[in-house]
Chain A
Amino acid sequence: GQQVMQIPQYQHVQEGEDFTTYCNSSTTLSNIQWYKQRPGGHPVFLIQLVKSGEVKKQKRLTFQFGEAKKNSSLHITATQTTDVGTYFCAYSSNTGKLIFGQGTTLQVKP
């Protein structure tokens, strides 16, 4: 079945630096969702994108859905220690199943 590949798997940044994680699919996706899981916590829904080329912002976070709806990115500007965690992309199949990428774990050095 369809899969989404996330890169990078790990990212270490200095506090204040920017961070980007990418989610790629070989086939067109109907939607893409992003979740954040803090260390020791559970995934928390961040956002859903459904339109080609869609861009949404949440404070320092910018989410994009590619024009071909095959890729997505999450960009964090000026990272803070509170941004530490694993960021997952996921898409909802037409059978209701949510398929997750492997996640990008972000470490922020103060």
Chain B
Amino acid sequence: EAGVTQSPTHLIKTRGQQATLRCSPISGHTSVYWYQQALGLGLQFLLWYDEGEERNRGNFPPRFSGRQFPNYSSELNVNALELEDSALYLCASSLDPIQWNEQYFGPGTRLTVT
């Protein structure tokens, strides 16, 4: 069974640009979560999508947005990039978001903003 996949592996952007990160969940999983992990810090919850809808978001500005497609894959968009957006962005998926929220993580996208 394929795990959660993310692309690209690395992304280098300049300040002010936009970044698009992609995630494909495990087959059969309908929930996709996005986290930001800045260097030396823990995982900060960004967004949760389930069945194509945004269910919850963390304390991030509106320039962090995303969507979930009918095949449950997801995209994270970061507009007007700032230097402090440099981080590892992790996507995770789960089968049942409420009852059993075991999450499976992808390898992440390392975003560097210069």
Contact = CB atoms under 8 A, between A and B. Distances in A.
A96 B43 contact: no
A31 B97 CA distance: 13
The A interface is mostly helix, strand or loop, or mixed, namely loop
Given A97-B48, A103-B42, A45 B31 contact: no
Contacts of A94: 98
Contact of B105 (A31, A44, A96): A44
A4 to B, nearest CB: 10
A64 B48 CA distance: 28
A43 B42 contact: no
Contacts of B50: 96
A89 B97 CA distance: 17
Interface in A88-107: 88, 92, 94-103
Interface of A: 31, 33, 41-45, 48, 88, 92, 94-103
13 contacts: A42-B105, A45-B103, A48-B102, A88-B42, A95-B55, A96-B48, A96-B50, A96-B97, A96-B98, A97-B45, A97-B58, A98-B92, A98-B103
Given A42-B106, A43-B92, A97-B56, 8 more contacts: A31-B101, A41-B107, A45-B103, A98-B33, A98-B101, A100-B45, A101-B42, A102-B41
